[in-house]
Structure 1
């Protein structure tokens, strides 16, 4: 019976995203990411080197161009490579399991739990509820080999966690693209 009530309460990634957008969470996380990007000395230094080595600035006659002309030419020359480096840095922040990435995962989980009526955490570190149900089913199907299923279940719960993390990464990709 429990599965029928969970089917009625289907929460989509869009539902979670809409909630995060409406309550200001997306803006707050975006601000944290921007703050950390601005503090990223490696990214700053790389960008400065790229500008210093720019063909636009090192071409004879560049000093005669207006600031606007130089800026437009620099943007055309460097925009793609600078944005690629910035994008890579943003993804490192988002996927960091100790910083913003961890905060993002926890926030998404809390919102999902609130919307679905479940109690957090969905994936406790020690024992998971869902694999317990799976273990009972496997025990019945395999003629009562409960001891082996306990061992198999611990491996599968680890794999499930990784799969769920991958799913959350895809969700963040969707968030980033919006």
Structure 2
């Protein structure tokens, strides 16, 4: 539909994963219990293999075209980031308690923010402490979009340094 603005090609690419799983299950089922020599049931391995290869090549073509032509509206993205409680997960990590407990505490913090039309970073330390005595002044190092993104620094995460490292790798990778 022409009014649709979400990245539909990427939804289709993601949806293809079900076919890969089905093809894999088909191959694994064909191969289970095979004796040591070739058997005629291996004739059934071609269809799922070729189907997967054909789908992957199409998905790569669509993905490459998409990535080359995508344009981001940075102002709109920032506005959307600031409109929610993106840092709630980071706040749960800050608490260092089992997730069930952290989830409860952070849920009460977000509920207080919603009632006051605040963000988590806008609550005073006393307001944080009224919800849990675990909060200290350093909680503000975890709150806000920028701080939240910086806290995600493990391999493959969305942290700024991790993303920059991956971009550097793929842009300058030999043979591409």
* Same fold at TM > 0.5: no
Give the structure with the larger helix fraction: 1
- TM class by smaller structure: under 0.3
* Larger RCO (CA within 8 A; separation ≥ 6): 1
TM-score by length of 2: 0.25
TM-score by length of 1: 0.25
